[in-house]
Structures are given as structure tokens and as C-alpha cells.
Amino acid sequence: MSTIGKALSLLDTVSRLDKEAGLTDIARLCGLDKATARRFLVELEKHGFVEQDPETRRYRIGSAPVRLARIREARYPFLRVAVPFIKALAEASTETVHLSEFSGSRLSTIHVEDSPRAHRVNVEVGTLLPFHATASGLAYLAFCPPDEIDAALSKPLERVTEYTIVDPAVLRGLLDETVARGFSINHQGIEAGVVSTAAPIRAPGGHPIGCVAIAAPMVRADQAGLMEFGAQVVAAANAISEKYYGSERPAGTTAQIRRTG
Amino acid sequence: MSTIGKALSLLDTVSRLDKEAGLTDIARLCGLDKATARRFLVELEKHGFVEQDPETRRYRIGSAPVRLARIREARYPFLRVAVPFIKALAEASTETVHLSEFSGSRLSTIHVEDSPRAHRVNVEVGTLLPFHATASGLAYLAFCPPDEIDAALSKPLERVTEYTIVDPAVLRGLLDETVARGFSINHQGIEAGVVSTAAPIRAPGGHPIGCVAIAAPMVRADQAGLMEFGAQVVAAANAISEKYYGSERPAGTTAQIRRTG
DNA sequence: GCATATGGTTCAATATTTGAACCCATGCTT
DNA sequence: AAGCATGGGTTCAAATATTGAACCATATGC
């Protein structure tokens, strides 16, 4: 792997830690030599991507990403565009709705609107969404080119709950259904007692960039309800895509999405 | 320079562009070979730090920084802590108040509260603040260790307006005054007709991390008014520092700050 | 006061980066 | 339609930066 890649992976590792970490821990977690980890950290610090607490000597994420994020969001306000739709959907569905974005070869939650109900599904911003075990992951993957699907399914698939599907062949079946339907359904794959539906937000080329998902307690989602949620996530995802990328519609399998949306 | 440094500089360059740029332009702006620039971009893209528009093939900042920024702000909410103080100060002073943060060896504006008046100073979020020509820059530098001051003053200093001070010896005098006073004053150094005062927000070790500044049209700031503004920025900067870092006061020259604040 | 742990540094061996030259489209000009 | 210019992207030997075992320094616990 390139040095840059290793350094960015280190940054990623640091960002995933619950708290600030010391040099030795970081090196171990990244599988790097202490000297190497240190040089990376120094270099990253120079550019503001990490900072070292002068007292504890531990490292944390720096302020450079904040600057870049502001620029990105100013020029390309995905959240600003998407959040109103997520809010509206949360209100309409009275269930927890979350928005994910593909970044750095993973799908991560970037916004959540909680259900107003007492009994609800709680999702944390920042949560990573495994492709095989979440509605968002399946919706994302379903609309990816075959080689990306192959790559995702050839990795080891964790059995998160007793209901998680880890058989690639079965998963491929789900992906086909997802494409046909326009949205994905996940039965307790990531959390027992929870069902989700998700639809991809797609770039003009057709490639997904993220997903809209509704997560509800199983007791409130019968077959008809699920179909209704599905229609809603598809509508929201398409609306976001349209607003984000202008009036252009995604090419390729557009018809399939519209059909069900 | 290390590869990582070069790649992060490239990222920085891309972030400074007004619009998305092509490979050749980026390579030229960074002084890199096209092949090198490309490998960097590919690597950065893998990790979500840039993305390439599939249609125009141009590059822009990706979504990874947004993720990191959220984590940083969640764990270390500088803006969240500071903004209320900036708002309060803007209201109290009825002038434009802005907040800057040191990141990647530069001071940049991260929040602005505009004056409610029609005749006011406008500052853009993201603006870089030269150390020698802005109140924030001087306030920051004044409380830095000598070697950082030397480094900053040994670089070529741009004469931004006809009033900009570019003589390192004179600037050192201003820095001494700033330390003695607890806040800096900038007379038209970055924009004719504008005076500013600024005070540093400092980490527990005493090193500045950013500044609070008031910028006012000269006609509204006489000597007494300027001292009042100065006292206000010092109070705000100290309050932010205290809230941000807990109850600890910055070590070292604390007394000087408190004396004037 | 010894043992252990962590942050940090060094330098020869090694793997990665580099860039001139190249290819391939696209679009403009003659 | 051939010629030319421009921009994205690629190749591979030469140049250079990266690597990591061993090292030092300091702090904490026993």
C-alpha cells in the first residue's frame, strides 16, 4: 500500500477510537512500526489533521478536516440538501430515519432523525453500516457494478445477529430483489427485533453515493407497512438525488427506481 | 518533504480552488508531475478525501473530511463552545466579531457574526489571516514561543494596504505591546479604513489555538472605543478558553492577560 | 532502586516514489 | 480529413523516501 494510504488509514483508525490514544496504541492498532506511526502522526499534525495533547502526549483528530468539511459543504452541501427530506420522512413515517454516505470504501451514517415515539430504534451518527447486514448496505450494493458487489461479498461477512445472512449466494438473491423492488429490506440483520428499508441516492452516472433508510421495531412493521416505508425511502432518495445533482436523473436503471417509487 | 506532506498539500491546494480542477491544473498548481499528482489523487480518492466527477473528470474535496470533522466536533466542539461567546460579543459591541483557528500552519476564519449596522466590516468564513497584517495574526503570534515568531517574521511579508507594516523590527515592537496589553490592534493593515482588536484563545500550555477579533470601521473606533473593544475580546477569548479546556487557566503569562482583561 | 511501559530517535537496508516519455481521446484549425 | 493542440491517464528504470530493529530518555509502579 502507498504511504499516503497508510497515513490516511492511520487517521481513520484514530478517528474511530473512543478517546485519544498514545503512540504505541496507535502503532499497534494500525499494524505499523512505532517509528513509522510517529512520522505519520508528525506529518499529519503539521497539516492539522491530528493534534497532540501537549500534556498527555496523546493524539486526536485535528482541525484541518473541519476546514475542509466546511469548504466541501459550502460547495457541495449534501447534508444541507438531504436533511430536510430526512426530517420530512421522519415526520411522515413516525419512525427513525437515517442518512448514510459512502466514503473511504465504507458506508457511514451521517444524519439521523429520531422517531418521536418512545419505543424506537436509535441510530448514532458515525455508525458504520456493513453491506451485508443492513438495509442501507444492501440498497447501496444492489445498484453497484458487479465487480464491486463481488468485492464486497468476497470479504468475510460477520454474523452480527442470529438472523444475519452471511451466505453470498443468498445475499445476491436479496440484491436482485432490491434492484427489482427499488429498495432493500433487512430483517433483524444488524439488531434483533428491528426491520429496515433503504433506497440509494445515486449520482448521475447511476452509482450510489449513499442511502436513505427507515428503521422500525418489528412490531410496528407488517408487510404492508414495510412496502409503504419502502416507497417512502425511494421517494426521499430520488428527491435528494434530484436536488443534489440538479434536474438530471440517474442513467441506467432509472426506470426500475421510478417504477416502484 | 515527505510524500504524506505533499499529498496533504495537494489536498489543501484543491480545497483553495474556487471550482473543481482537472489533473493538469492541479499538478501545475502543486508543482508536481502529472503522474505524481494523479497517484496522489487516486490515493486520496480511495479514502474519500477527494472525489472525481465522473463526467467532467475534475476533482473536488470528498466527504471523508466531513466525517472526520463531525467526530472532531463531537469530541472537541470548539465551534459549539466558542460561537455563543462570539454572538454575545457581536451583540454587545454592535461590530463584526470573528473567530479564527490555527490549523495547518495558518490562521483561518471559522466563524463570523456580522455587525447589525448597515456600515460594517464584512468577513468571510474561510478567509486566511496573515500574521503580520491582521489583529488576529498579531495576537496569535504575540503569545507564541520566540522560534515561531522568528519563523513567521522571516518569511516574505506582503504589503496588503499602504498601511501594512512589513518591517520585522517594527512588528516585534507591536508583538511586545500586544503581550503587555493582552490584545492586539491592527490599523488598516489588511483593509483601508478598518481597525481591529484581537485576543488569543490559549491552550492550557499557553500556546494560542485561535483568536477572537472585533473589526470596525475607523470612524466608529476612537482610542477609548478601541480599548473597550480590546477588553471585550480578551474577556471573550478567556471565557472560551476556560469553557473549552475546563477550569484550568493557561500557564505562563496568564497574569498579563487577566490584568488587562 | 529495579522493572516495566511509553514516547521518541537513529541509520543502513529496502521498498516506494518519481517523472520523462508515452498513449489515447477529444476538439479545434486548416 | 488530415494535422495539431490539449488534457487525462499510464509505464518503467532511476532516484529517493520509507522502514524498523535497536536505541535512548523519562515516568510510573512495585
| Model pLDDT for residues B205-249, shown as the tens digit of each residue | 788 999 999 999 999 989 999 999 999 999 999 999 888 876 443
Strand C atom within 7 Å of A25 CB = yes
Is pLDDT above 80 for A258?
A: no
- The predicted pLDDT at position A19 comes to 83
Closest nucleotide to A28, Cα to C1': C6
Task: Give me the pLDDT at residue B259, please.
Answer: 28
Distance CA A12, CA A20 (A): 13
User: Residue A250's pLDDT is what?
Assistant: 38
Residue A188 has pLDDT above 60, yes or no: yes
A147 or B257: which leads in pLDDT: A147
Minimal CA separation from A120 to chain B, in Å: 23
List, in order of start, the domains of chain A with CATH numbers: 3-66 (1.10.10.10), 76-260 (3.30.450.40)
Average pLDDT of span A140-153: 90
| Nearest-5° Cα angle at B83, B114 to A96 | 115
The mean of the pLDDT values for chain A is 87
d(CA B100, CA B122): 15
Q: What is the pLDDT of residues B194-203, one digit of tens each?
A: 999 999 999 8
Quick check: A47 pLDDT over 80?
A: yes
Residue in A with minimal Cα distance to B20? A75
Higher pLDDT, A260 or A101: A101
A24 touches strand D (CB under 7 A): no
For residue A129, give the C-alpha cell: 453500516
Candidates A6, A10, A43, A63, partner chain B, best to mutate (most B CBs within 10 A) = A63
Q: Contact at 8 Å (CB) between A131 and A152?
A: yes
- Tell me how far apart the alpha carbons of residues B227 and A206 are, in angstroms, rounded to a whole number: 59
Nearest by Cα to B93 from B255, B256, B254, B234: B234
The C-alpha atoms of residue B21 and residue B38 are separated, in whole angstroms, by 12
Mean pLDDT of A88-95: 94
C-alpha–C-alpha distance, residues A90 and A84, integer Å? 10
Contacting residues 96-125/B vs strand C (CB within 7 A): none
Q: What's residue A67's pLDDT?
A: 85
| Chain B touched by A70 (CB under 8 Å) | yes
Interchain contact, A69 vs B71, CB within 8 Å: no
Protein-proximal positions, strand D, CB < 7 A: 7-12, 17-22
Neighbour count for residue B153 (Cβ, 10 Å): 18
Report whether B113 contacts B86 (CB < 8 A): yes
CA–CA separation, A176 and A184 (whole Å):
10
How far does the CA of residue B221 sit from the closest CA of chain A (Å)?
32
Residue B145 is which amino acid? Answer: P
How does strand A96-103 pair with strand A208-217? Answer: antiparallel
Would the pLDDT of B136 be above 90? Answer: yes
Q: Does nucleic acid strand D have an atom less than 7 angstroms from the CB of A33?
A: yes
Tell whether the model's pLDDT for residue A132 goes beyond 80.
yes
| DSSP characters over A217-252 | EGGG--HHHHHHHHHHHHHHHHHHHHHHH-SPPPSS
Mean pLDDT over residues B74-84, rounded? Answer: 84
What is the pLDDT at residue A77? Answer: 80
Q: How far is CA B104 from the centre of its chain?
A: 10
Return the C-alpha torsion angle A211, A216, A222, A226, nearest 10: -10
**Does A194 have pLDDT greater than 90?**
yes
Cα atoms in the 13 Å half-sphere on the side-chain side of B197: 28
> Residue B67 burial (CB < 10 Å; 0-12/13-18/19+)?
buried
> Do β-strands A184-187 and A106-113 pair in parallel, antiparallel, or remain unpaired?
unpaired
* Minimum-distance CB partner of B48 among A62, A64, A104: A104
**pLDDT of the residue at B249:** 39
The mean pLDDT value for A27-34 works out to 90
For position A246, what pLDDT does the model report? Answer: 65
pLDDT at B18: 77
| Residue A72 Cα, gap to closest chain B Cα (Å) | 6
**Strand C reaches within 7 A of the A35 CB:** yes
pLDDT higher than 70, residue A249 = no
Q: Among residues A111, A148, A151, which one has the least CA distance to residue A236?
A: A111
Residue nearest C20 (alpha carbon to C1'): B33
* Tens-place pLDDT, residues B98-125: 999 988 788 999 899 998 888 999 888 8
